[in-house]
Amino acid sequence: MGIDFHDKKNQTTYSTRIADQTWREELKQLVAVENISNAADIGCGGGIYSKALSDMGAESVTGIDFSEAMLKSARDNCKEYKNIIFKHGNALETGLESNYYDLLLERALIHHIKDLKACFSEGYRVLRNGGIYIIQDRTPEDCILEGNDSHIRGYFTELFPKLIAKEISRRYDSQTVVRTLKEAGFNEVQEVKFWETRKVHENKEQLLKDLSGRTGRSILHDLDDYELKLLINHINESVSIDKAIIEKDRWTIWKAVK
């Protein structure tokens, strides 16, 4: 099991949200995006964050993904944006020009990457000197926080301990990320933790509908249809409010400078 990024069925799974203000505010603390000429969004999925970089003032954004299905949804999602282009490529070998980009974003990508050193070395190659690398992912620690009315993801691992094993096996701890960034040549490595509002659901019904589509949550592809139903029942019983649900996830961001 696990998500198949190349399957057309999953094409829109990473294009139906917009990047929340909590993300934009956090990024602003780390990068003056309005001064960025050339940004790249590697593992761009449906272009949610390519669009946000443009909205925040980046002059041009290049989105890269190894899935043609994702790129199709990204192109649809960003069709109004003349300063965003999408190209097919692998994070380990992007095909992008060397020493060119001012900013590279890799959001929710590295837990899908086996050779982290190769990924970071490619990031180093394409950034110009002084260019900024932003990696956003969850550490094992971020993945085992308990569930509550806003941290819905906590209920996934609470009900299915097998998902904890899966998360721990695929998520990098912070020490590994920092060490590998330094090995790839980066300096000024900085780490921040933050809660990103993933989505505001109008009510519980909307949240349950979002979960039933496994939208934007690759871990739910490790549950079969029956297990997903059990999870939805569990969340229905556990979430105590039926007004707007502000769903938040805990993330780690690493900023590194070439």
Ligand X SMILES: C[S@@+](CC[C@H](N)C(=O)[O-])C[C@H]1O[C@@H](n2cnc3c(N)ncnc32)[C@H](O)[C@@H]1O
Q: Does 24 bind ligand X (CB under 6 A)?
A: no
Q: Binding string, 214-243, against ligand X, x = CB under 6 A? A: ----x-------------------------
Q: What is the largest CA-CA distance in the chain?
A: 52
Contact 101, 72 (CB under 8 A): no
Nearest residue by C-beta to ligand X? 45
181, amino acid identity:
L
- Bridge partners for 62 per DSSP: 40, 85
Is 105 or 181 the residue whose CB approaches ligand X more closely? 105
Q: Total residues contacting ligand X (rule CB under 6 A)? A: 20
52 token code pair: 């946000």
> What DSSP designation does 97 have?
P
Choose which of 38, 54, 67, 180 interacts with ligand X (CB under 6 A).
67
* Residue 177 lies near ligand X (rule: CB under 6 A): no
Q: In the 8-state DSSP scheme, what is residue 203?
A: S
* Under rule CB under 6 A, residue 73 binds ligand X: no
Distance CA(154)–CA(183), nearest Å, equals 33
CB of 153 to ligand X, least distance (A): 13
User: Residue 51 or 204: which CB sits closer to ligand X?
Assistant: 51
Is residue 107 close enough to count as binding ligand X by CB under 6 A? yes
Kindly give, in sequence order, each residue whose CB lies less than 8 Å from that of residue 66, ignoring residues fewer than 6 positions away.
Answer: 5, 43, 88, 89, 90, 91
Smallest gap, in angstroms, from Cβ of residue 43 to ligand X?
3
In the chain, the amino acid numbered 79 is K
By CB under 6 A, residue 52 contacts ligand X: no
86 touches ligand X by CB under 6 A: no
In the complex with ligand X, which residue's Cβ is closer, 67 or 252? 67
How many C-beta atoms lie closer than 10 Å to residue 154's C-beta? 18
Among 91, 126, 181, 184, binds ligand X (CB under 6 A): 91
The C-alpha atoms of residue 181 and residue 62 are separated, in whole angstroms, by: 22
Question: Which spans of this chain sit near ligand X (rule: CB under 6 A)?
Answer: 5, 14, 43-45, 48-49, 65-67, 70, 90-92, 107-109, 112-113, 218
